Amino acid sequence: MTASLHSLLGFAVWTMLVVFIGIGFPRISAVLVRRSPPKAFAADVPHGSDRYRRTMRAHANCVENLPIFAALVLIARAISLESTTFEMLALVVLPARIAQTAIHVASGSNRAIMVRFWFFSVQLACFAAMALILVTS
């Protein structure tokens, strides 16, 4: 398996972990200890702590960006692209995503927002460079 496919797999697993640990566990435990009824988690109604709501948004960010990353990596595999630069860019995406998510969940301060935006910008730059490599190959 290529480095880019490993990174894609890591991105998918990270997205699942965010939902399982950050969203699923709090919801299931709230229902099991009868703090909340199962229907208490309507998607269109804010609920939970600030951290919980940030986790919801961080998960949505993962879900929104995973298809872009997947498309780039899978197109590279489909055309049998052999590019060290492409592979290195793909390897940068996962730690940037993990850092962005962790900071998003940890704090809503202005400083945290600026830092997580930086990590998001790193991902976008990698996506753009990866797309450019694909277009020029």
> What residues does each domain of the chain span?
3-16+50-135
Are the CB atoms for 26 and 48 separated by under 8 Å?
A: yes
Where do the H-state alpha helices sit in 33-109? 50-78, 84-106
Tens digits of residue pLDDT in 2-44: 999 999 999 999 999 999 898 777 766 766 777 777 766 666 6
Q: What pTM did the predictor assign?
A: 0.89
Are the CB atoms for 90 and 7 separated by under 8 Å?
A: yes
Handedness of CA 115, 120, 126, 129 (dihedral sign): negative
The Cα angle at residue 105 between residues 37 and 38, in degrees rounded to 5? 10
How much is the pLDDT for 44? Answer: 66
Q: What is the mean pLDDT of residues 75-103?
A: 97
Would you place residue 88 in the very low, low, confident or very high pLDDT band (cuts 50, 70, 90)?
very high
Q: What is the mean pLDDT of residues 112-118?
A: 97
Are the CB atoms for 121 and 35 separated by under 8 Å?
A: no
The pair of three-digit structure tokens given for residue 10, joined into one six-digit string:
């890591």
